[in-house]
């Protein structure tokens, strides 16, 4: 009887905890370590507010271009460091993309800007991990902390003073279980942006008139953890948000802490979240022609988490369509015996405004396809030039081809132009005839 009472008391305590502290369980499995992902080497961690904590290397894919070998440039715009319009101190990467079909239901409108934000949860509000205090040996991985979203800006084709702000492709950590304050702080609670006027136009945000949340992404879901654990209901609007003007920026964020915040996760208890993002409509003075009045290439955009716990990113967008270049490329020696390395050397540079980001090593053989096998993130050298090298030791006898991709901070990329052919040969073995030939006195020379 005493054991039954103890179990019952434990169940009541657990129910009370879940009621007082909203909990969320990721519906996504941890990444498969055997999956073919680019190798990340030296990637900035991007969190920074918990001292003496190191993170393991992440393996999520941070690029948009197709990983096939060849030449070409994505149509992308760029970034550089800048003052933060909201006075926060989180910074990471942001890319600007020009696309034609980001959202089919918006085809009647004009896509004027698209931003991708990504970074790592700064661990504020995460007091323990696996039931123990955070430490170098006990902490979430980069995948567990990964935060990302896309913010698209559309101008109404017929009402030139109406702007749609779409938040989509939201990722709020991968393969992790959160509760309490940490659960709120990994929730995207808003998006902040500036609308800098183009030359000859007056301030645009000062002419803002009204807000509407009567729109949604296709298939948008409300995950309601009050009705039932993670109960999902399709909705056609984006509830729980309101705009706020802060200096020269607008922040559209939740009105009740993290309630109705954006998430990619499931199994939600005692809270409400919107799966994947939402859409906001902003109406300005009828005289404002947004497409011409705003300098879209000078915008600043941030994703807000945990109602101002952190903002990602804090950078200035500057157009950059120029790919970087490979100035020198070599592989030495031209052949090696098995289990010996090749040294792949390069010099790369950029002339755009974004600066160098990384160099990727690609390899194929006579029997395998092109594959990225290593990457090095370039230190803060701006446009360079930057010189470095890879070392690679193929494990099988074959003829191999090496090439590199150089990528700038805008996502523009280029190759070396002509892959280099090398060969891995067997270590020397005496001819079979010599191995079995008897040693005769006549064969010796003195």
Half-sphere exposure in the Cβ direction for 281 (13 Å, CA): 18
Q: Is residue 308 part of a domain?
A: yes
For residue 200, tell me if it sits in a domain: yes
How many domains, the chain? 2
**Closest Cα partner for 91 from 329, 315, 290, 355?**
315
Return the percentage of the chain with pLDDT > 90, whole number.
45
CATH of the domain at 395: 2.60.40.730
Interval 338-382: pLDDT, tens: 999 999 999 999 987 667 889 999 999 999 999 999 999 888 777
Looking at mean pLDDT, say which of 84-88, 140-144, 429-433 comes out highest. 140-144
The confidence score (pLDDT) of residue 319 equals 52
Rounded to the nearest integer, the mean pLDDT of the chain is 74
Residues 375 and 300 in one domain: no
> Are the C-beta atoms of residues 30 and 143 closer than 8 Å to each other?
yes
Cα distances (Å, whole numbers) of residue 219 to 61, 243, 274, 413: 25, 24, 11, 34
pLDDT, residue 229, reads 78
Residues 409 and 287 in one domain: no
Would 373 be classed as within a structural domain?
yes
For residues 331 and 263, state if they share a domain. no
> Is residue 59 one of the residues assigned to a domain?
no
Question: Which of 40-44, 296-300, 401-405 is modeled with the greatest confidence?
Answer: 401-405
Cα–Cα distance measured from residue 334 to residue 332, given in angstroms and rounded to the nearest whole number: 5
pTM: 0.54
128 part of a folded domain: yes
Q: Has residue 58 got a pLDDT over 50?
A: no
* Separation of alpha carbons 61 and 368, rounded Å: 22
- 288 in a domain, yes or no? yes
Residues 282 and 341 in one domain: no
**Residue 234 belongs to a domain:** yes
Does a structural domain hold residue 293? Answer: yes
Task: Tell whether 309 and 351 lie within a shared domain.
Answer: no
Same domain, 183 and 213: yes
Query: Is the bond leading into 385 cis (omega within 30 degrees of zero)?
Result: yes
* Domain around 339: 325-425
Which helix (H) or strand (E) segment is 232 a member of?
strand 231-234
170 and 261 part of one domain: yes
3-state secondary structure of 433: helix
Distance CA 135, CA 76 (A): 39
pLDDT confidence tier of residue 95, bands split at 50, 70 and 90: very low
- Rounded to a whole number of angstroms, the distance between the first and last alpha carbons of the chain is 99
Task: Please write the tens of the pLDDT for every residue from 65-74.
Answer: 222 222 222 2
pLDDT band at 77 (very low <50, low <70, confident <90, very high): very low
Q: What pLDDT is recorded for position 341?
A: 95
Same domain, 334 and 283: no
Domain's final residue, options 313, 336, 364: 313
Could you tell me the maximum CA-CA distance found in the chain, to the nearest angstrom? 107
107 and 222 fall within a common domain: yes
Q: How confident is the model at residue 446 (pLDDT cuts 50, 70, 90)?
A: very low
Residue of higher predicted confidence among 372 and 56: 372
Looking at the structure, tell me whether residues 165 and 270 fall in a common domain. yes
């Amino acid at each position: 009887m005493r054991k039954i009472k103890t179990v019952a008391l434990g169940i009541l305590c657990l129910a009370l905890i879940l009621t007082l502290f909203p909990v969320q369980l990721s519906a996504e499995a941890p990444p498969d370590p055997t999956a073919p992902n680019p190798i990340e080497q030296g990637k900035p961690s991007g969190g920074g507010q918990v001292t003496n904590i190191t993170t393991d290397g992440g393996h999520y894919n941070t690029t948009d271009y197709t990983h096939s070998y060849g030449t070409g440039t994505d149509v992308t715009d760029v970034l550089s460091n800048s003052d933060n319009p909201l006075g926060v101190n989180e910074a990471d990467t942001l890319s600007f993309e020009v696309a034609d079909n980001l959202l089919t239901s918006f085809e009647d409108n004009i896509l004027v800007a698209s931003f991708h934000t990504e970074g790592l949860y700064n661990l504020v509000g995460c007091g323990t991990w696996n039931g123990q205090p955070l430490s170098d040996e006990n902490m979430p991985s980069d995948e567990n902390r990964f935060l990302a979203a896309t913010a698209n800006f559309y101008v109404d084709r017929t009402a030139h003073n109406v702007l749609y702000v779409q938040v989509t492709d939201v990722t709020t950590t991968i393969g992790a279980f959160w509760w309490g304050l940490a659960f709120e702080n990994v929730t995207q609670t808003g998006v902040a942006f500036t609308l800098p006027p183009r030359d000859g136009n007056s301030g645009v945000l000062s002419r803002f008139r009204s807000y509407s949340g009567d729109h949604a992404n296709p298939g948008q879901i409300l995950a309601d953890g009050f009705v039932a654990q993670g109960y999902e209901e399709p909705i056609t609007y984006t509830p729980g948000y309101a705009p706020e003007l802060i200096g020269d920026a607008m922040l559209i964020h939740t009105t009740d802490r993290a309630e109705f915040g954006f998430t990619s996760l499931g199994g939600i208890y005692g809270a409400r979240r919107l799966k994947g993002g939402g859409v906001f409509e902003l109406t300005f003075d009828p005289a404002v022609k947004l497409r011409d009045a705003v300098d879209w290439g000078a915008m600043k955009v941030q994703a807000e988490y945990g109602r101002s716990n952190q903002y990602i990113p804090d950078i200035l967008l500057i157009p950059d369509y120029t790919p970087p270049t490979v100035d020198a490329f070599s592989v030495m020696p031209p052949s090696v015996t098995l289990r010996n390395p090749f040294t792949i050397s390069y010099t790369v540079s950029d002339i755009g405004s974004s600066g160098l980001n990384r160099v990727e090593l690609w390899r194929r053989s006579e029997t395998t396809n092109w594959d990225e096998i290593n990457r090095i993130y370039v230190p803060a050298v701006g446009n360079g030039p930057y010189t470095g090298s890879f070392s690679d030791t193929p494990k099988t006898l074959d003829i191999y081809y090496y090439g590199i991709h150089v990528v700038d901070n805008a996502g523009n990329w280029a190759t070396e132009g002509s892959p280099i052919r090398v060969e891995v040969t067997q270590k020397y073995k005496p001819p079979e005839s010599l191995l079995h030939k008897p040693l005769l006195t006549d064969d010796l020379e003195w």
